[in-house]
Structure 1
C-alpha cells in the first residue's frame, strides 16, 4: 500500500501481514522517515510496592538520553490511570517534554498485546527516530511485539548508546558475552532495550514542566485480567542491593556460607562471577557481568575476582569497588578504589569474625 493516504477499512498490512494498526498509519510513517527525529521512551511503572513509582531503568534511560541529546524532542509513554499522576513531575524533571498517558484502568496491569498496540500507534503519531525501553522482563516481552508491528529493527539488552546525526549506535554483548558488538539500524524507528544498571541516574531538573496527552485506547480485543500474582523473588534481585559481596574463582565453596554471613551483617547480598555459575554454585540470577546483570551498588566487595572485561562492564556504575585478590596486578585493580592483596577466603573469615 505504498503511497496510500487512506484505506476503506481494516488494518494496515505489509507483505500480507496484519500489523494491527489503524488504516494507513504504517505507510504514512514510512513516507516521513526523513523527518523522523527525537526519542520516545516507554516509562515503566513499578507497582510492586504500596505506591507506584517510576522504574530505575526508565530513569537511567532518560538520564542517558539527556546526556547525548542535541536538542531533539523527548516523548514518554506511560500506562495507567489517576494513580500515576503524582509521578508526572519526576518524569518531566528527567527530560521528558511530552508525556503520553494511555488512560485505561485495566492497563494498570501489564497487558503486552494492548501495550504493544497503543505504543505502536503513538510511535507512528510522533515519528521518533529512536525508541527505547528497559530490558526488564516486561520490556523484553513488549519491545519485539512493537518492532514487529512497525517492521523495525530491534537491538536487545544494550549496555551503551551513542548518537550521531539521528543515527544511534547500540552496543551489546555478543557470542556469549565474549565480545561487544556495536549495531546500527538501517531503518526508522531505531529500537533498543537497555539493560538495567548500566547508566547512572542524573540529578533531576527541579521545576521542569511538560505536556500531558491522554491517549484513549479503544480496547479492541482487550480481555479483562481477573487476577495476577507477582512471583518475582525480591530477595534474589542483586540489582536492588546497595552492598554486594561478590565471589569469584579465587573463593572456595566452603567460604560461601561465610560470605553470606558477611553480606547479611552488612545489610547486603552475595553475587558472583560467571565462573561460579558455570560450576553450579550459584544461579544465574546472582551473576554479575555482561552475560549476567549490571549492578550499581554503593559498595562492591570483590573477593577472588580477577576482573574480565565482561565482569568489569557489569560493575561500571558501582560507586565504590574494593578488591581482595592474591594477584596485585589483577585487572579488577584498574577500576578498584581500594585493593587488598591477600587470600580472599582468609579475609572473608576475618571480616566475618570482626563484624
Structure 2
C-alpha cells in the first residue's frame, strides 16, 4: 500500500472510530459551558469598537490642501506678479480640500494628531514646492487605497500637476506620462471593461491629434507630435494588457464626430482639450475598477499626463479656468 493510501485510510479510521460515551454529568457540564459561552460571546463582540480606530489616511492630504489654499490666498491678497496664479492655486486646492473633506466625513474616523501646517508661502517658489509635495503625497497613496478613494486621490494628484502646468514658476514641464510595457495577466471583468473604455478614449485622442494639425500653426507641431505619441503609447499599452488578460481590444473607429465643428486654431485647441478630458475620465475609471498595482500606476500616469496637457491646451485657447481641480470627474 502506498504512503498516500495509508494516510487516507488512517485519517478515515480516526474519523470513523467509536466516540467515548458521555456520562449524564459530563453532558450537563458541557451544556452549562456552551450556555455560558453563548451568553458571553455577543457581549464580547459588543465590546469591540465596530469601526476603524486608526486616523483616516486622507487626513494629511486634506490638511495639506487646506494649508496650501490658505497660503495661496494670502499670496494672492498681497498682490504682485504672482497674484493671479496664486488665486488659481487657492481655488483649485480649496475645491480639492472640499472633496477630500466629504470623503473623510463619510467615514468619520478619529482625528489625526499631526500638527497643522501654518499655511504660509513666501512666493511662487514656495507654492511650487507645496504643489510638488502634495502631488507626490497623493500619488504615493493611490496604490494602497480602496478603489473609490484611489480615483479621488488620483484626481487630486493630477489636479496639482495641472496647477503646476500653468507656469514655469509653479513647475510646468513635460507631462511625464511615458508608459512602461505593463506586465499584467488576468484581470477581473470590471477592470477589463475599464481598460476597454480607456482604449476607446485613446483611439479617439490619436485621431483628434491627427485632425487638428491641419488647423494649427507650425508653432504647435511639437505639442501635437508629443501628444499624439503619448496617446499611441497608451493605446498600445491598453492593447497589450487586454490581450494578456484574454480579451479582444476594441478597434478604432474610422472617424469621430467632434462635439463642435473644427474651423480654426482656437476650435482645434478646444477639441484637443476635450479629448484630454475624456481620456482623463477614462483613466480615473480604471483607478476605480482595479486593485492591480501595475495597472493603477499606468492609469495614474495617464491621468496626470492628460491633466497637464489639457491644461496647456485650455491655456492656449484662452479658456478659464485652465487648470481643473479634479481631472477625470
TM-score, length of structure 2 as denominator length: 0.27
User: Quick check: which one's strand share is greater?
Assistant: 1
User: Quick check: which one's helix share is greater?
Assistant: 2
TM-score, length of structure 1 as denominator length: 0.26
Higher relative contact order (CA 8 A, sep 6+): 2
